[in-house]
């Protein structure tokens, strides 16, 4: 796992589709809302372009996100939470997401609000088991 510009990149042993399916299962089991699942490869194909498997998952819990937006309205640029799954040219599948500590610093959030977005890390770990 490595971080770059506030983005954490974690390798996945699963295909893009399977990784996102596993994340959806874990997220839904926790009662968290899935707002969108975007298959960017399929969208590229619709306009005649090629893209390796790439999917973006948007999810969250208004009970957790709303206090963040009350404290700092511009955090809505980074909410709902997102996980990107993509296949690199070397066939490695990566899961990428915003580092909660980066978001904390970016918006000067107090520690008690950061716990509302820290949920992303254990969700990913559980999905990759």
Instruction: Tell me the pLDDT tens digit for each residue of 38-66.
Output: 999 999 999 999 999 999 999 999 999 99
Residues 6+ apart with CB under 8 A from 98: 6, 7, 8, 78, 81, 82, 120
Average pLDDT, stretch 19-41?
Answer: 97
Cβ atoms of 75 and 61 within 8 Å: the answer is: no
Asked if residues 75 and 68 have their Cβ atoms less than 8 Å apart, the reply is yes
The predicted model scores a pTM of: 0.91
- Interacting residues of 39 by C-beta distance below 8 A, sequence separation 6+: 54, 55
Residue 1's pLDDT band (cuts 50, 70, 90): low
Q: Which domains does the chain have, with CATH numbers?
A: 2-128 (3.30.310.70)
Write out pLDDT tens, residues 59-114: 999 999 999 999 999 999 999 999 999 999 999 999 999 999 999 999 999 988 99
Q: What confidence score (pLDDT) does residue 74 get?
A: 97
Q: Which tokens hold the place of 98? A: 């915003």
pLDDT at 5 over 90: no
Are 26 and 126 in contact by the 8 Å Cβ rule? The answer is: yes
What was the pLDDT predicted at 29?
Answer: 96
């Amino acid at each position: 796992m490595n971080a770059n510009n506030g983005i954490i990149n974690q390798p996945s042993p699963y295909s893009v589709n399977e990784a996102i399916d596993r994340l959806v299962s874990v997220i839904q089991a926790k009662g968290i809302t899935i707002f969108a699942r975007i298959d960017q490869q399929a969208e590229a194909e619709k306009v005649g372009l090629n893209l390796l498997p790439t999917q973006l998952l948007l999810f969250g819990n208004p009970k957790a996100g709303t206090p963040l937006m009350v404290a700092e309205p511009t955090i809505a640029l980074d909410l709902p939470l997102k996980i990107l799954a993509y296949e690199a040219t070397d066939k490695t599948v990566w899961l990428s997401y915003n580092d909660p500590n980066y978001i904390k610093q970016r918006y000067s959030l107090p520690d008690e609000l950061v716990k509302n977005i820290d949920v992303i890390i254990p969700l990913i770990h559980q999905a990759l088991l």
